[in-house]
Amino acid sequence: MKNLFENLPLAAEHECFDNLLAVPGLRIERIVSHGQASPPGFWYEQDWDEWVMVLQGGAVLQIEGKEGLLTLQKGDHCWLPAGCRHRVVSTDKEETTVWLAVHRDKTE
């Protein structure tokens, strides 16, 4: 058994991604952010579904086609279906942001 909050990487230039579980059709990862954001003009557009939850810290997402920005604080989560264009506008610069992300292969 492991703890999601143990051995958190120190502040770094890039976000840290750690696979916690990977089985056919499903991947769970811990993401650790220290004030990072998507580069200007960059959008994620994945071929799989993703559910994300902020466990610590905070983040702001922009989802294409949605008015306004989505602010996520501790305990907030959102669903990003396959093909949903989105970007990380910002993550907390004062507190480490710890995300839990569940990736599911797209079902036909």
pLDDT tens digits, one per residue of 27-72: 999 999 999 999 999 999 999 999 999 999 999 999 999 999 999 9
* pLDDT value for 108: 57
Quote the mean pLDDT of the chain: 94
pTM: 0.91
CB 33 within 8 A of CB 15: yes
CB 8 within 8 A of CB 18: no
The highest-level CATH class for domain 16-105 is: mainly beta
Q: Which residue has the tokens 């769970």?
A: 28
Domain locations along the chain: 16-105
